[in-house]
């Protein structure tokens, strides 16, 4: 049996942050609604410095041996701010959109 057969892939919303890159996620997938899971972030998310904050929608994998723990594998894109998530000084922005300074 492969490792992927044992995993439960579910969706949820980050409801709280904990020290050490841990998060409390409330599940939204049918059959798991309302359950809270203590999660950590996967290596690819950590490697690419993807920030996760409260309120983000995420996809996670539950541990088959302990359904109260999991690993966040994807953060669904949400637009933050008026610049579609880009830095205020990013190249390609109009001068009126850039931060003064």
Given a cut of 60, whether residue 80 has pLDDT beyond it is no
Share of the chain above pLDDT 90, in %: 46
Q: What is the pLDDT of residue 5?
A: 65
At 7, is the pLDDT very low, low, confident or very high (cuts 50, 70, 90)?
confident
Mean pLDDT of 12-31: 93
Strands (E), 1-68: 8-18, 22-27, 36-41, 57-62
- The tens digit of pLDDT for each residue in 24-64 reads 999 999 988 989 999 999 999 889 988 899 999 999 999 88
Domains in the chain (CATH in brackets) are 3-75 (2.40.50.140)
Q: 37 or 88, which is more confident?
A: 37
Torsion angle in degrees (nearest 10) through CA of 46, 47, 49, 52: -20
């Amino acid at each position: 049996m492969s490792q992927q057969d044992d995993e439960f892939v579910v969706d949820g919303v980050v409801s709280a942050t904990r020290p050490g890159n841990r998060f409390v996620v409330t599940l939204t997938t049918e059959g798991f609604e309302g359950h809270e899971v203590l999660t950590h972030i996967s290596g690819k998310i950590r490697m690419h410095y993807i920030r996760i904050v409260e309120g983000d929608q995420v996809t996670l994998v539950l541990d088959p041996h302990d359904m109260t723990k999991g690993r966040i594998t994807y953060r669904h894109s949400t637009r933050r701010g008026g610049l579609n998530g880009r830095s205020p000084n990013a190249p390609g922005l109009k001068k009126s959109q850039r931060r003064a300074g």
